[in-house]
Every structure is written in C-alpha cells, then in structure tokens.
C-alpha cells in the first residue's frame, strides 16, 4: 500500500487553541507554523509557503503576487483569520484559481462592543480623567471640569451599515439616541428599518451628526474618505470614531482637525500604519484615544475565528464546501 501524501499547510502565526487543535487533528495535512506572536518576516514567509497546498494567514500578512509566486502551483486554499480581505491580492488569487476563506459574523458583536466602548471612552474623556487621578489633578468636584458629550438625545452617523454597523446601531438603542443616520454605497431599507435609520449623503452625515462611527470596508471608494473636507463639515462638538481600516482616514487631516478644535475628539482602533509609531503626532493629543486594533479581542471571539479559519482551510483542501468562502 502506497503511503498517503500529506498536504502541506503553512500557518503564519501562533493562533488560539481551538484552531490549532483542529489543524493538529487533520491526518491528511502536515502543518508548519511560524512559532511567534509577532509577524513573520517576508523572507521567512516566502520560504514557509513554498510548496504549500494551504495557507492560513492574518490581516497583517500581505498576500501579493510575489508571495503567490513563491508559494508555487500547489497552493489551492488561502484562509484568512479576519473579516477584512484588503491584505489579499484578490485579482491575482482569482486568476490562479485559489479558494479563499474568511471569518465574517463571528467577530461582529465583539467589534460592535469595542466601538461603543471606544465611543464612550472618547466622548466622556476617560483617559484624561484617569490621568488626572494619577497626577494629582483631582483636587475637588468642579462644575465645569472634565465635561464631555453624552449620547442621550444625540444624532449618531454610521458610515457603513453592514453586519458590524448594524450591530453598533443595535448596541446604541439603550442610550436614547434621538436620530440615527447612515451612508454607504446604496440605501439598505430592510436593515435600516429596525433602527429607523435614515440614509443620507456622506456630506449630510458629517454635518448633522454629533457622533460618527466608521464601520465600512476599505475599498477604492472609501480610501481617504474621511479627509480635510469631511472634517470641516463636522460640528466642532462632534466626536469621530474609526473601527474599520486606518486607510479610510487621512490621519494628517484628522490631526489638524483635532489640534485646531475643528472637531472635539476622536477614537481610533485602526491606524496607518499598524502599529502606529510612538512619535506620531496623533499620540500627542489629549483629545485622541488610540487602541491597538483590538476590535475582536475577546477570548471567545478569537478562538471562534481561529476554528473557523482552520475549518475553512481544511474544507477547501479536501474539495468540500467551506463554512465561509469568499466568492471571487
């Protein structure tokens, strides 16, 4: 009896236990992994993926033509442990007939929770308040001290009413938001009905919202969408939050808007680049809260993402229906 030829799988990082265990149980696969929590250097990635049948990657891994060439003709499946796919050269991948798996839905609620947390943290100036406690700035109760902005009776604008945008709108309900606006490629009347949300232009959303949350995908149309013109249309008391992709925002223009008082505050869970350099001007501002892209960072969500990514990969390699396949 001839020995069964194993399919080579390369994993670009340590992943949570449920995904790792699923790969380890796959008797038809030989799994190699970059054994670190830090990103794999490009040269090591090219060496690791050479000859692989399947690749499990993260959103921080750039899967471009050069890497696909290094992988060779064996590569049949790419499974990304992310909902975003802007790190994948999709046209090139489609040309080569490679199947792609991704992890939508499973991180929706965690990311929406983070968006609300970041919104509240920013609008109520929590980092500033914590620092005042630590540095002795808290001397007594003062009527005008540490005042921020509240969600009750406000207008909230959401850019992108997809899965995450809808979850954010759902989380906002108990806060007594008076009016909910949204914008995107096209109206979504069925989804918007649940929240009585109004479809408006990007310009109207910027001008009328007290709080703006960016939850859209990164596309050629949304790249640099939030720029100088956008911020100039916003209210001076408005708070801006981005949990989508850093490239949607022109960060130089955002810095100027914050530093000049054009807008009140901003909260970012995504930046360009990632990580943001520690000497970046945005980090000098008290009215800018920046998190290290932790939208999906709960133990349950990351475990579920890793398992779905592993199952996508294995199903693709076996010629089966993937639990979540990206249609190219």
Predicted pLDDT of residue 2: 46
Segment 238-254 shows an average pLDDT of 98
Cβ(212)–Cβ(240) below 8 Å: yes
Q: Are 124 and 265 in contact (CB under 8 A)?
A: no
pLDDT (0 to 100) of residue 206: 98
293 assigned to active site: yes
* pLDDT interval class at 89 (50, 70, 90): very high
- In the predicted structure, residue 1 carries a pLDDT above the cut 60: no
pLDDT in tens, 132-142: 999 999 999 99
Q: How confident is the model at residue 4 (pLDDT cuts 50, 70, 90)?
A: low
CA distances from 57 to 27, 114, 240, 313 (A): 21, 23, 31, 10
Select from 73, 43, 42 the least CA-distant residue to 60.
Answer: 42
Q: Does pLDDT of 106 surpass 60?
A: yes
Instruction: Give the global pTM.
Output: 0.91
Question: How far apart (Å, rounded) are the C-alpha atoms in residues 156 and 175?
Answer: 11
Q: What percent of the chain has pLDDT over 90?
A: 98
> How many CB atoms sit inside 10 A of residue 297's CB?
15
Closest Cα to residue 212, out of 147, 152, 257, 265? 265
Distance CA 272, CA 268 (A): 11
Catalytically annotated residue among 53, 87, 293, 299:
293
The answer, yes or no, to whether residue 14 has pLDDT greater than 70, is yes
Q: What is the pLDDT of residues 294-320, one digit of tens each?
A: 999 999 999 999 999 999 999 999 999
CA distance 177 to 26: 49
| Domains 7-105+299-326 and 107-290 agree in fold | yes
Q: Kindly state the average pLDDT of the residues 120-135.
A: 98
Per-domain boundaries in the chain: 7-105+299-326, 107-290
pLDDT tens, position by position, 21-72: 999 999 999 999 999 999 999 999 999 999 999 999 999 999 999 999 999 9
CATH code matching the domain that covers 107-290, chosen among 2.60.120.260, 3.40.50.720, 3.40.50.300, 1.20.1260.10:
3.40.50.720
Fold of 7-105+299-326: Rossmann fold (3.40.50)
Find the helix packing angle between 126-135 and 108-123, rounded to 10°: 60
pLDDT at 67: 98
Mean pLDDT of 192-219: 97
pLDDT in tens, 163-203: 999 999 999 999 999 999 999 999 999 999 999 999 999 99
What does the mean pLDDT of the chain come to?
Answer: 97
């Amino acid at each position: 009896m001839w020995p069964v030829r194993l399919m080579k799988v390369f994993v670009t990082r340590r992943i949570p236990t449920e995904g790792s265990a699923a790969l380890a149980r796959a008797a038809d696969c030989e799994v190699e992994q970059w054994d670190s929590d830090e990103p794999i250097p490009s040269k090591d990635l090219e060496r690791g993926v050479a000859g692989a049948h399947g690749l499990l990657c993260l959103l921080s891994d750039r899967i471009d033509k050069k890497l696909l060439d290094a992988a060779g003709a064996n590569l049949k499946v790419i499974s990304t442990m992310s909902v975003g796919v802007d790190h994948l050269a999709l046209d090139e991948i489609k040309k080569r007939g490679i199947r792609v798996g991704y992890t939508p839905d499973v991180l929706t609620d965690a990311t929406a929770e983070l968006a609300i947390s970041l919104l509240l943290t920013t609008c109520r100036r929590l980092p500033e308040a914590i620092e005042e406690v630590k540095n002795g700035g808290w001397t007594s109760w003062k009527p005008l001290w540490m005042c921020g902005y509240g969600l009750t009776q406000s207008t909230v604008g959401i850019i992108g009413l997809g899965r995450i945008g809808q979850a954010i709108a759902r989380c906002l309900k108990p806060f007594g938001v008076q009016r909910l606006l949204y914008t995107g490629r096209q109206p979504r009347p069925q989804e918007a009905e649940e929240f009585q949300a109004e479809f408006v232009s990007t310009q109207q959303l910027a001008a009328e919202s007290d709080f703006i949350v960016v939850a859209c995908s990164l596309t050629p149309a949304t790249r640099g969408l939030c720029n100088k013109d956008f911020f100039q249309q916003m209210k001076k008391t408005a708070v801006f939050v981005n949990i989508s992709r850093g490239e949607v925002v022109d960060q130089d223009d955002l810095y100027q808007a914050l530093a000049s008082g054009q807008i009140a505050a901003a909260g970012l869970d995504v930046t360009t680049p990632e990580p943001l350099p520690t000497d970046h001007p945005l980090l000098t501002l008290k009215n800018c809260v920046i998190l290290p892209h932790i939208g999906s960072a709960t133990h349950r969500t990351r475990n579920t993402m890793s398992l779905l990514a592993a199952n996508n990969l294995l199903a693709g390699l076996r010629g089966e229906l993937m639990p979540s396949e990206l249609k190219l």
